[in-house]
Amino acid sequence: MHRSVHLQRLLVWGLTGPIVALNVWLLTQLFRFFEGLVTVLVMAAILAFLLNYPVRLFQRATLSRVQAVTLVLVVTVALFVIAGVTLVPIIVDQTAQLLAKIPDWLQTSARNLQALDLWAKQHNLPLDLQGFSGRINNQIERQLEVVAKEAVGVAVGTVNGLITTILVFVLAFYMLLYGNQLWNGLINLLPPRYGIPFRESLWLNFHNFFISQILLAAFMGLALIPVFLVLQVPFALLFALLIGIAELIPLVGAALGIGVVTILLMLQNFWMGFWVAIAATILQQVRDNVLGPKMLGDFTGLNPIWIFIALLMGLQMAGFLGVIVAVPIAGTIKGTLEAVRSERLALKLKKAEEEII
């Protein structure tokens, strides 16, 4: 009897892996087919989720739900327009200047590495920095050629992005008004033992993740701007924004953003890149060790290995958007399973106590 039960468990676990892999593959195919629609819906849902906090504050100030939603949306659109008029042209201009100067930076870097390579040969060191630099420079130049050829596509993408932004705001407006009814209806389709813990875990994970990650990313971006200006870093706003956006990615985002900026600056000036890396790393340590624990905490309880796996799966399935939502979704699954398991254990203990009585 014990052997048959053991074989049944092995069979269940053996079939679980292929079934999960098949479901993931099907979800990936569905997302690729409906990628545009899913992206707009997810972005609108995230925006509505974030805007719901100020909406609740205005509702406490005796405003109706419709009035609060309208006011918050108007203010948000106004802020986006102001940012689009002031910051976006600066970022676009700095991006164009950066792409134009990278070839000169590559030549400067090649000359510096050539001098270092000559010094290494004079001291009989087995280094081939010049050949390594040449391969990297060729790769970067090919990528720049691809970017230049896609300039028209970028212009068309800008128009499509504007249309998508309008759709996101319109959908977010309706989600703020009627989203609770739709959400409750979807949750009610699930059995109560699964629906209730799923709803609570989803709200907790998305609340802790997005609020904390956005605030921490904003801290990094805003704190780096004056530091870059003091160090006379070229394209200070663009590089600070790049690191701030990369901070939205858990675990690897900080190293990724700082690493890219450091490499780009070292092409022009090695010591400037070095000091930028030091300053950004110090701020990143303040973020991780001082601000992060107070704001984030152990909000998912996930092992770092599982977080990496979730990030890779999100990247494979949905690109950057998948990376952003992968960790809170993984935390939601974990929290739901733990809640269901705790409920089962509580029921078993209750039955055991009743049998004893």
Task: With respect to residue 244, please indicate whether it lies within any of the assigned structural domains.
Answer: yes
Long-range contacts of 142-149 (CB under 8 A, 24+ apart): 144/99, 144/102, 144/103, 147/99, 148/99
Residue where a domain terminates, one of 189, 212, 228: 189
For residues 177 and 302, membership in a common domain is answered with: no
Residues 313, 208, single domain; the answer is: yes
Question: Is 51 a residue whose pLDDT tops 80?
Answer: yes
- Kindly report the pTM of this predicted structure: 0.68
| Chain CA centroid to CA 197, Å | 25
Which of 189, 220, 246 is the endpoint of a domain?
189
**Do both 173 and 317 map to the same domain?**
no
Statement to judge: residues 307 and 171 lie in one domain: no
Are the C-beta atoms of 207 and 52 separated by less than 8 Å? no
Domain that holds residue 229: 193-346
- Residue 48 and residue 181 in one domain: yes
**Lowest mean pLDDT, pick from 187-196, 257-266, 285-294:** 285-294
Best-predicted range by mean pLDDT among 109-113, 123-127, 297-301, 311-315?
Answer: 311-315
Of residues 15 and 33, more confidently modeled: 33
DSSP string for 247-285: TTSTTTHHHHHHHHHHHHHHHH-HHHHHHHHHHHHHHHH
Q: Are residues 161 and 203 in the same domain?
A: no
- The C-alpha atoms of residue 238 and residue 95 are separated, in whole angstroms, by 7
Q: pLDDT confidence of 301, banded at 50, 70, 90?
A: low
**Which CA distances in Å does 222 have to 83, 91, 151, 260, 295?**
15, 15, 29, 18, 18
- Does the pLDDT of residue 106 top 60, yes or no? yes
CB 193 within 8 Å of CB 343 = yes
317 pLDDT exceeds 80? no
Percentage of residues in the chain having pLDDT higher than 70? 74
> How much is the mean pLDDT over the chain?
76
Considering the domain architecture, whether residues 179 and 290 belong to the same structural domain is answered as no
Cβ–Cβ under 8 Å, residues 73 and 172: yes
Six token digits for residue 9: 């468990």
Which region among 34-48, 110-124, 147-161 has the lowest average model confidence (pLDDT)? 147-161
DSSP symbol at 228: H
Model confidence at 151: pLDDT above 60: no
Q: Which of 112-116, 180-184, 219-223 ranks highest by mean pLDDT?
A: 219-223
> Is residue 19 domain-resident?
no
pLDDT band at residue 46 under the 50/70/90 scheme: confident
In a shared domain, residues 184 and 204: no
Q: Are 100 and 150 within one domain?
A: yes
Please report which confidence band the pLDDT of residue 154 belongs to, taking 50, 70 and 90 as the band edges: very low
pLDDT over 80 at 262, yes or no: yes
Q: What is the mean pLDDT of residues 285-313?
A: 69
**How far is Cα 105 from Cα 101, in angstroms, rounded to an integer?**
6
- In this model, does residue 54 exceed pLDDT 80? yes
Other CB atoms within 10 A of residue 315 CB: 15
Q: Are residue 164 and residue 62 in the same domain, yes or no? A: yes
Could you give the number of structural domains in the chain?
2
pLDDT band at 156 (very low <50, low <70, confident <90, very high): very low
Residues 137, 261: one domain?
no
- Domain end position, chosen among 189, 207, 230: 189
The secondary structure of 39-54 as a DSSP string is HHHHHHHHHHHHHHHH
Report the pLDDT value the prediction gives residue 300, as an integer from 0 to 100. 53
Asked if residue 128 has pLDDT above 60, the reply is no
- Asked if residues 137 and 109 have their Cβ atoms less than 8 Å apart, the reply is yes
Q: What is the pLDDT of residue 125?
A: 61
Most confident by average pLDDT, 4-13, 17-26, 164-173: 164-173
Separation CA 228–CA 275 (nearest Å): 10
In a domain, 9, yes or no: no
- Residues 284 and 305 both lie in one domain: yes
